[in-house]
Amino acid sequence: MIEREKLQHLIENIGIPKLCLILLLGISLIIVSIPSGKTKKNTQSTETTAKEDSTDLYVKKQERRLVNALKHVEGVGKVKVMITVNSSKEAVVNKDSPYEQSSSEKEKTVKEDEQTVLVEEDGKKVPYVIKEVEPVVEGVVVVAQGGGNDIIKNQIVEAVSVLFHISSYKVKVLKMEDS
């Protein structure tokens, strides 16, 4: 009974329109304060897209370089190449590894706690990147006018194997069709 009387007294003093407004503001604050999962997904998809774009650019650059090298080899003629990689570009971050060792008469304890080193960049804290590891070439297909000649084919296989540090069985040389 007491609560009902307090509620009636509140409605009489403040008024129904003001109470509705306060209620709507409270609901709005609750809705706005709930985190949205979209932001995280968009950030992740943007990072994934950036990695894929970076890998594609790396592959295209390597393909152009290989074409430029092979087209100057006597007997190769026109050449097209396709390179496959096994992963995307990888950033190696710096880790801080404090090491504590304590011993007592009965036991010896070792505590290792690894944390990523962060630096401030454009007002944001980001991991400190030591180096970036380029994707590893898995296979190469070379289509060349001179691809039908065994000597030229062996020269191309050897050149590609040396350039990309891959075994010769991961390189396929094909003869370009006459057009």
- pLDDT, one tens digit for every residue, the chain (179 residues): 677 777 677 677 777 777 677 777 778 778 777 776 555 555 555 555 666 678 889 899 999 999 999 999 999 999 999 999 987 777 777 777 666 666 667 676 666 667 777 777 788 887 777 788 888 899 999 999 999 999 999 999 999 999 999 999 999 999 999 86
* CATH number for the domain that contains residue 79: 3.30.300.30
Pick from 65, 74, 48, 53: which is nearest to 140 by CA? Answer: 65
Q: Is the pTM of this model over 0.75?
A: no
Asked if the structure places residue 27 within a domain, the reply is no
Asked if the structure places residue 97 within a domain, the reply is yes
Q: Does 138 lie in the same domain as 73?
A: yes
Per DSSP, the residues of 51-110 read HHHHHHHHHHHHHHHHHHHHTTSTTT-SEEEEEEESS--EEEEPEE--EEEEE-SS-EEE
Q: Provide the domain count of the chain.
A: 2
Range of the domain at 121: 91-130
What is the spatial distance between Cα 158 and Cα 104, in angstroms, rounded to a whole number? 61
What is the spatial distance between Cα 49 and Cα 42, in angstroms, rounded to a whole number? 10
Burial call 10-23: b when 16+ CB within 10 Å, e when fewer: eeeeeeeeeeeeee
Instruction: Write phi, then psi, for 114 (nearest 5 degrees).
Output: -100, 130
Q: Does 78 lie in the same domain as 144?
A: yes
